[in-house]
Structure formats: C-alpha cells, structure tokens
A and B are shown apart, each in its own frame.
Chain A
Amino acid sequence: MKRTQKPSIPKIRKAPFVAIFVFLALGAVGISLGEPSRVLEQATQVCLACIGIG
C-alpha cells in the first residue's frame, strides 16, 4: 500500500509576539512613570557636549 506523506504545515512562532508584548508593556510602564516628558525635554535641547562641541 502506498503511503501518502502529509504536507508540512508551517508553525506560527509565538516568541516574537511574547517579546513584542513584553516590550510594549515595558514602554507602557515608562509612560505611566512620565518618562516621555523627560525624553522630550532632552530631545528638544541641543546637548553640545554630546556632539563634541564645548
């Protein structure tokens, strides 16, 4: 009797979704702590020492 081989069905990887969720949750914690305002404050000022001037 001829055996038929089942076609291989690709598996969905769960790890990327878990990682994305974990980091989005981490970002949400940062937002709840008010970090974006600190980041915005830094990003809107020229840090001359940071770019090698002064």
Chain B
Amino acid sequence: MDFVRKWVQGLFFLITNGYWNFPVSRGIYQGPLKVICSPGLNCYSCPAATSYCPLGALQQLMGGIRLALENGQIYVGFYVIGAMGAIGSFVGRMICGWACPFGLFQELLHKIPSPTFTIWRPLRFLKYGFLLFMVVLLPLFAVDSFGFGQTWFCKYICPAGTLEAGLPLLILQPALRESLGLLFLNKLAILIFFTAWSVVASRPFCRTTCPLGAFYALFNKVKLVKLRLDTQRCTNCEACHDVCPMGVHFNESPDDMECITCLACSKACKVNAISLEIGGLPISNQSPYRTPQAQSE
C-alpha cells in the first residue's frame, strides 16, 4: 500500500505543479486553472504551480478584507474556506499523507539513513496557534495605514514557499537577487531547519507547524473517509505505535487529530483490527456482518 501511496503522492505533485514551460517563460503559470484549490501545501508563486494554495489565498483575502468591503466587494473567504472545508470533510488529513508535496518532501528526507528522534508530543499544538494567529487574526487585524494586512505565515514562516517559489524564482530571475535581505535569510534558515529536522524525525513540519494540517485535523472525527478500529479484534500489541509516521497510538485514540490515514498501521496490524471506512461502511476483506461467534473462530 505504501507503494501505491507514493505513486499517488507523485501524481498529486505533478497535477498541482504541471506547468513545465517555466524554464522558457521564466515566470509563473497564469492560466485559469489557478482558480482551483490545491489540496496540499503548494505555493502558488511556484513557477510550476497550476492551482492556488488555500493558505496563501486565505491570508490574502483576510488581509484585503477592509479594502474589499470599502469597495463594496464581499470577499471574506467563503470560496476558499468552502473548498478547504469540503476537502477536510471528505478526507481530512488524508491529504497530508497522500496529496501534499511538502509532506512527500519530508518523507523522502526521512529515508536518508540517520539516527531517528521522536518529536515531543505537545509541540503538535503549535500548528493550531499558527493557523489562528498567522493565517487568520494577524492578517485580519494587524493592518498598515492603508488598511491592508500581510500574509504573515507565508512571509515569515512557510518553508514550502521558500523551496517551491523563492529559490526557483531567484534562479529564473537573477535580478531578484538584488532585493534579498534579512527576511529571505530568515525564511531560508527556517527551510534549512525543517529540512535537517525531517532527516532525523518523521514529518516535523506537518506535526508541529503546518496550519493547513491543523485545519484538516479539525475534521478528523467527522470526515467521510477514515480508519476504524475493531476493538474486539485488537490485542493491544502496540504494533501500530512503531510504524506511525505521526506518532499516533491508534489503538488508544482511533480518531486522533494527527492521523494522516497513510495505512501504515493497517498494514502492520497482524489481527486485521484496523480497516478503512467510508461514511461508516467498512472497505476491507473483513465482513461487517460478523457475529461474535464468527469473530472467535
């Protein structure tokens, strides 16, 4: 299944970054597909990007809300939040495991042989702070004299933007190098930090910082496609603990907000206690109509 997942990740990477004419045009894609929401974290200033980043678009809309309202335009983010919410309600953080280019980047880095460290679990709460403050509240309320807010997360934190947009644009447009300053150095340091951290720990950005993952995590209890635990089959052998890239103890918290539905636990489970379900209906070789007698056989 991990093989299939890697192919799906690669496919989503290519779909959301399908503009391969950028070495010739030396600019970004400007076609109509950019009205489509990228499910994962994928900077829309990336020269190859063919869809918009929901986080970037949301910050832009939050930052420009005053000016828009003054001009009689009710641009308050319904379109972007609607798209994000529909994706979240459908698959939740499965996007992180199957469709996020930056998630794939971290996974590939973690394949480099190195000592492995765990991530202190309370750090996972940081990403909800980034979502609330840097994506919503600061762009909305910290405005300049013209009433325009900044894209705080993109500008000061997002390593995906530096990797996918900042560095490629500096290569494609050498004139931009004259504009570099402390801001870019700060962002480059953050990218290097997360790159190094990804080598020695599994998905550190997803687990501690990503506001998009935090948003999708809010849907982990109500999402349509999710993993289910058969408590009658589960022997609490804890085989699912060791394989989870997000540090989830699935047998203890099947609706954990960190679960990215990568199915690693399902594969590791010797008693087939973990299966995928859609809207409450299991999709697996286990019969949903098993009686207790049948289970004991």
Contact = CB atoms under 8 A, between A and B. Distances in A.
Interface centre among A30, A35, A36, by most chain B C-beta atoms within 10 angstroms, is A35
Interface string A2-36: 00010111111101110110111111111101111
B166 A8 contact: no
A20 B56 CA distance: 22
Contacts of B31: 44
Contact of B89 (A23, A34, A47): A23
A54 B223 CA distance: 40
Interface in B110-162: 150-151, 154-156, 161-162
B109 interface: no
A1 interface: no
A35 B80 contact: yes
Contact of B169 (A11, A20, A38, A51): A51
Interface string B79-103: 1111111101110000000000000
B165 A51 contact: yes
Nearest to B282: A10
B25 interface: no
A11 to B, nearest CB: 5
Interface string B148-190: 0011001110000110011001100000100110011011100
Interface in B45-85: 45, 51-53, 56-57, 60-61, 68, 73-75, 77-85
Given A5-B293, A38-B73, A46-B27, A20 B89 contact: yes
B21 interface: no
Interface centre among A9, A22, A36, by most chain B C-beta atoms within 10 angstroms, is A36
Interface stretch (B192-200, B206-214, B259-267, B283-291): B283-291
Contacts of B27: 46
Contacts of A43: 34-35, 44, 51-53, 56-57
Number of contact residues on A: which range applies?
35 or more
Contacts, number: 178
B73 A34 contact: yes
Given A7-B289, A48-B179, A12 B79 contact: no
Contact of A12 (B28, B68, B281): B281
A44 to B, nearest CB: 4
B172 to A, nearest CB: 10
A43 B57 CA distance: 7
B86 A5 contact: no
Given A16-B224, A29-B78, A52 B161 contact: yes
Given A19-B222, A39-B57, A44-B30, A12 B280 contact: yes
Contacts of A20: 86, 89-90, 224
A36 B35 contact: yes
Contacts of B161: 50-52
B56 A35 contact: no
Contacts of A8: 288-291
B85 A23 contact: yes
Interface in B241-297: 277, 279-282, 288-293
Nearest to B68: A38
Contact of A27 (B44, B74, B78, B184): B78
Given A29-B78, A43-B34, A44-B31, 4 more contacts: A9-B289, A15-B221, A23-B82, A48-B179
